[in-house]
Structures are given as C-alpha cells and as structure tokens.
Amino acid sequence: MGRWEPNARERLATAALQLYSERGYEQTTVAEIARRAGLTERTYFRHYADKREVLFDGSGALQELFVQAVAEAQESAVPIDAMAAGLDAVSAVFVDRRDHARQRQAVIVANAELQERELIKLASLSAALADALRVRGVAEPAASLTAEAGVAVFKIGFERWITATEERTLSQLMRESLDQLKVVTAGG
C-alpha cells in the first residue's frame, strides 16, 4: 500500500485542509482532494474512509500518547498529577502546529457534522483516560471525574492557544487552565 505514492497520506491531508479552507467542507469532493494531491480517488479511499476522517487522522495517535503518559506517570502521582503528565505530553506534539491547528479549527466550527465528530473523539479520549486511571487503581467516580477534568483542560487550553492573538505556548496554557480549574473547584 502506497509503495508508488510517497507520503500519500500526508499529501492527501494537506490537500483536503487546503480545499476545505478555500471552498468549504461541503463544497469539496474526494475527487478534488485526490487531484490536488496528484493522486487518485482510489488512493484516497485506501487511506481514509470518508471526507471527514482526513481531518481526524491525528486523533488516534493523540489519544494513545495522552493515555500512555497518564498510565506511565510516577506510581506515587495522584490522579490529577497523572493527568497533568498527559497534558504535558500532548502539548509537546503541537509545538510547531499552531497555524495548522487554527486552519483545521476554522473548518470544523463551520460544519455541524464535523463538530459532532470532534465531540465524539473527545468523549472517546475521556473514556480511555478513565480506563487508564482505573488501571492505576483510581476508584469510580474519581477516575471518570478526573478524566473529564483533564479533557476540559485540554479543550479549553487548546481553544485559547489557537485564538488569533494568543502567543503563549500550548504547554503554558494547559498548565494555566489546570491551575485555574483547581482554583474554581476549590471555591475561588
């Protein structure tokens, strides 16, 4: 698969994001994405199941990384500190991806179907994080609540990071959001 098409997966993802940004998600066809990438429709469907999935290509790897960092946090770490280790790990991945993330987000907020898919991915992330915490011996409902808190910090830290004027790093914003969550839940 892909032997005669170097980097086909990345080229298709880049072409799709360009076209979705230029013409809108709904107005773009898979045939056009393939053409822009210099590939065939057949090749597209060898890599992605549909028009949506090309925008969510990284979410599986992101979830894996997040969950692994939580799972491998120091044995002595309390649940929220294990979650902080996960947030640090995912922040590192996005360092050079701010423009890409902004462009992708603009496409997603313009389309209800894409927003739904994004919410499903976050719900799946939360469930996987709760699993990892239970494996660490965290009881319910603490495991699920910590997982939801982690995803909330991730979501809000990320949203702040991609606002037009924001210059702080994702890592800084994640930490600030987590600290702020601690303040508000403590009654601040």
Q: Candidates 22-30, 32-40, 49-57, 154-162: pick the segment binding a second copy (CB under 8 A).
A: 154-162
How many residues touch a second copy (CB under 8 A)?
Answer: 35
Interface with a second copy in residues 79-138 (CB under 8 A): 79-81, 112, 115-117, 119-120, 123
Of 5, 100, 145, 166, the one binding a second copy by CB under 8 A: 145
DSSP string, 164-183: TT--S-HHHHHHHHHHHHHH
- 25: Cβ–Cβ under 8 A, 6 or more apart, which residues? 51, 107, 110, 111, 114
Taking the complex as a whole, the smallest distance from the CB of residue 184 to a second copy amounts, in Å, to: 5
Of 73, 149, 162, 170, the one binding a second copy by CB under 8 A: 149
Which residue, 20, 62, 70, is CA-closest to 158? Answer: 62
Taking the complex as a whole, the smallest distance from the CB of residue 124 to a second copy amounts, in Å, to: 11
Q: How far is Cα 119 from Cα 23, in angstroms, rounded to an integer?
A: 24
**In this structure, what DSSP letter does residue 73 have?**
S
Cβ atoms < 10 Å from Cβ of 73: 22
**Residues engaged in binding a second copy (CB under 8 A):** 78-81, 112, 115-117, 119-120, 123, 141-142, 144-146, 148-149, 152-153, 155-156, 159-160, 176-177, 180-188
